[in-house]
Structure 1
Amino acid sequence: MTPEVHDEDIRAAALQYVRKISGFRAPAAHNQEVFDAAVEAVAAATADLLDGLQVRGAAPGRGSVAKAG
């Protein structure tokens, strides 16, 4: 089992991903809206993934995420 993943962790990872892919640490004002929307979309997809994962012998949800292997 891995430690529980919190919403703050998911958002931080989403922000890091969008920064890496876009090449911008902080977008220009005219790109801020689309940048923020991308962060929210990635965070939502990640939360859906973690909430849907099932590990044998563990309750479903973020607290049941385990390393594959």
Structure 2
Amino acid sequence: MCRSIKTLRAPATPDVTEDDITAAALQYVRKVSGFRAPAAHNRAVFDEAVEAVTEATRRLLDGLEVRGRH
């Protein structure tokens, strides 16, 4: 099953979960690598990429300033 990357920024998605962020990161890494699931010899680098993109996404969402929100 493949999930599309969706907008995670509030107010478009008010209650973003850690699962939402990880799913978006996984979808991104799948798209860039061309692999839905990597072979065993690529698993470590694939998982590291998902973790890095997850962290970058979390930092981005935490740092965004959405004007007009009270």
TM-score band, normalised by shorter chain = 0.7 to 0.9
Q: Which amino acid aligns with 2:20?
A: D
1:22 & 1:14 partners in 2: Cα distance? 12
Q: Point out the structure with the larger helix share.
A: 1
TM-score with structure 1 setting the length: 0.77
Query: Structure 1 residue aligned with 2:38, among 9, 12, 27?
Result: 27
User: Where do 5+ consecutive residues of structure 2 fail to align?
Assistant: 1-10
State the Cα RMSD in Å. Answer: 1.3
2:39 & 2:69 partners in 1: Cα distance? 44
Specify the SS of the correspondent of 2:24: helix
CA offset digits 1:28-49 (Å, max 9, x no partner):
0000000000000000000000
- Rg bigger for which structure? 1
Greater RCO, 1 or 2 (C-alpha within 8 Å, sep 6+): 1
User: Where do 5+ consecutive residues of structure 1 fail to align?
Assistant: 60-69
TM-score with structure 2 setting the length: 0.76
Percent sequence identity is: 69
Q: Which amino acid aligns with 1:8?
A: D
User: What is the number of residues matched between the two proteins?
Assistant: 59
